[in-house]
Amino acid sequence: MLDIQGRNSADSIKKTLAPYIGKTVKIKCNLGRNKYETFEATIKKIYNFLFLVEINGKQKSVKSFSYADVISKTIKISE
Give the domain extent around 35: 10-78
> Considering only CA atoms, which of 63, 52, 54, 51 is closest in space to residue 13?
51
Q: What is the pLDDT of residues 24-72, one digit of tens each?
A: 999 999 999 999 999 999 999 999 999 999 999 888 899 999 999 999 8
> Considering only CA atoms, which of 76, 78, 79, 1 is closest in space to residue 31?
76
pTM of the model: 0.87
Asked if the structure places residue 4 within a domain, the reply is no
CA distances in angstroms from 10 to 41, 46, 49, 63, listed in the order given? 20, 11, 8, 18
CB 16 within 8 A of CB 6: no
Asked if the structure places residue 1 within a domain, the reply is no
The domain total for the chain is 1
Tell me, what CATH number does 19's domain have?
2.30.30.100
> Considering only CA atoms, which of 74, 75, 66, 79 is closest in space to residue 10?
66
What integer pLDDT is reported at residue 2 of this predicted model?
72
Asked if the structure places residue 58 within a domain, the reply is yes
What is the spatial distance between Cα 38 and Cα 6, in angstroms, rounded to a whole number? 21
